[in-house]
Amino acid sequence: MGPSDPQEPGDARPDGSGQQQSPAAVTGTALVERRVAAPRRPRRQASYATVAAFVLAAAGVVSFYDPPRDLLKPPFPKVAEAATVPAASPSANAFGVSGEVKVRFALPNEAVQYPLEVRGDPRALGYQWVRVGDSTSSEPVRPLAGADVVAPQKPGFYQLSLVRSAAADGATPSAVERSIVSGMTLAVLVPFSQKLGTTLNGYRIGTYVAERLKGGDHDRPEGFVQIDEPDVDLPLTTHLRLGDFVTHDRQEVWPRYAALNPRLLDKLELVLSEIASWRGDSAGADLALDVHSGFRTPLYNRTVKRSAKDSRHQYGDAADVTIDANGDGRYTLADSKLVVRAVEAVEARHPDLVGGLGLYTSKRYSTPYVHIDARGTRARWRG
C-alpha cells in the first residue's frame, strides 16, 4: 500500500504519558484486556416487503415485516408478553448488514425506521419512548402505523415501548399496559446547529473545516451523541460499547459529545465476523479487541502528532483498532495483516462500506494497529 492518504496515527492515551498505550505488552503472556466472543457469521440479507397491519388476531404471528422464519432469530431474549400488549422485538433486518448493530441514530422529532416483529394483533397499538435506565416516560403516546416512528424531542438514549389502544388517547399507561421492546436503542442526537463557536454545552469541540470554509463542499456531522458518565458501557454493537468512541482528551466535564456513524459500526462487526470465519466459528475462540482511537474532536485532533488535519476520526466514521486475529495472545504485525485482509474482503462484498485502510507498523507505536474508516471512497496507506 502506498502513501495515498495522510497518516492517521492512534491517540495518545489519557494517562498523561502522551504515548499510545498497548492493552498488553507484546510478549508471550496472555492479554488481559476486554475480550469479545467470536461473532456469528453475518446473516444472509434479503429485502422484505411490509405486511399490512390490519390482519386478524387469529392469524397467529403478525409482523410489520415478514421474512422467512429461519431468519427471525434476533440476538436477544423475547420480551415477556404483557397482559394487554403483544410482545414485540425488532425485526431481523433491523440490526444492520452485520446483524450486530444495536443502536439507531436520529435527530430530535425525526422520522426513523424501527421495523418490528409483533406477536399478536398490532391493531390500535400506540408507542412511547422510555429513556434507558428509566421506568417512566414524559413522551407522548403516538399511534403505531408501520415501521416509521418519530424520535423524541430531547437528546438521549431511548427504548421503544408499546402501549394498548386505551392509552393511545394521551393517558399515561400503567406498567401492565406497556411492553418494552428490548434489543435496540435509539440515540437522539444533539443537532450540529446547537454547537456555539467551539463548544457544545461546555464541552470543547473545536472548529470543523466546514465552519471555517463556508460555502465549500465539506463534511460535518449531523449531530452529536450526548454521553453522560453512566452511558459509557452502553452497547453499540455486539462487541463495541459507547466508551470505545469517547475522545481521549482530559476534559473533566459531563456530558461529553461524540459523532458516530452506524456504517462504521457495521463495518467493524463484519471485519470481526470475517476473521472469526477463518478461525472456525465452531471453535468458539475469543477475539481480543482494543479500540485505540474512536471519535476525536477537531480540537483534540490538532494535538495528535502526524494526524491528518481533516481526519475522519472527527466525523465518527473511523477507528484505530488492534485485534488478536490469530489468537496467539499477542498483538503483532501478523494480526494486523490479517485484519487488513479482512477489511479488503468486507469491502469487496459490501462496496457501500468502502473507505480508508491504514496499516501502522512503525516502531513509534507500541503495537501495530489498523485504521479503518467508512468515508465512502477507497484510500490506502502505511504509517
Read off the pLDDT of residues 328-362 as tens digits, 9 standing for 90 and up: 899 999 999 999 999 999 999 999 999 999 999 99
- Calculate the alpha carbon distances from 7 to 158, 317, 358, 360, 371 in Å: 37, 16, 8, 9, 9
The per-residue pLDDT for range 202-258, each reduced to its tens digit, is: 999 999 999 998 777 789 999 999 999 999 999 999 999 999 999 999 999 999 999
Average pLDDT of every residue of the chain: 80
Domain with CATH 3.30.1380 in the chain: 35-39+190-382
Cα–Cα nearest to 318, from 265, 254, 241: 265
Q: What pTM did the predictor assign?
A: 0.78
Report residue 11's pLDDT band, with 50, 70 and 90 as the boundaries: low
Handedness of CA 229, 234, 236, 240 (dihedral sign): positive
Q: What is the CATH number of domain 35-39+190-382?
A: 3.30.1380
What mean pLDDT do residues 184-189 have? 97
Dihedrals phi, psi of 351, to nearest 5 degrees: -60, -25
- pLDDT tens-digit series, residues 88-136: 899 988 999 999 999 999 999 999 999 999 887 777 789 999 999 887 8
Domain span(s) for CATH 2.60.40 in the chain: 57-187
Q: Name the residue among 233, 231, 232, 226 with its Cα closest to residue 201.
A: 226
pLDDT digits (tens, 9 = 90+) for 40-57: 444 433 333 333 333 333
| Band of pLDDT at residue 81, cut at 50, 70 and 90 | very low
- Dmax over CA atoms of the chain, in Å, equals 67
**Cα 15 from chain centre:** 26
Q: How far apart are the first and last CA of the chain?
A: 10
8 Å CB contact between 65 and 90: no
Q: What is the pLDDT of residue 9?
A: 62
Q: Is domain 57-187 in CATH 1.10.1660, yes or no?
A: no
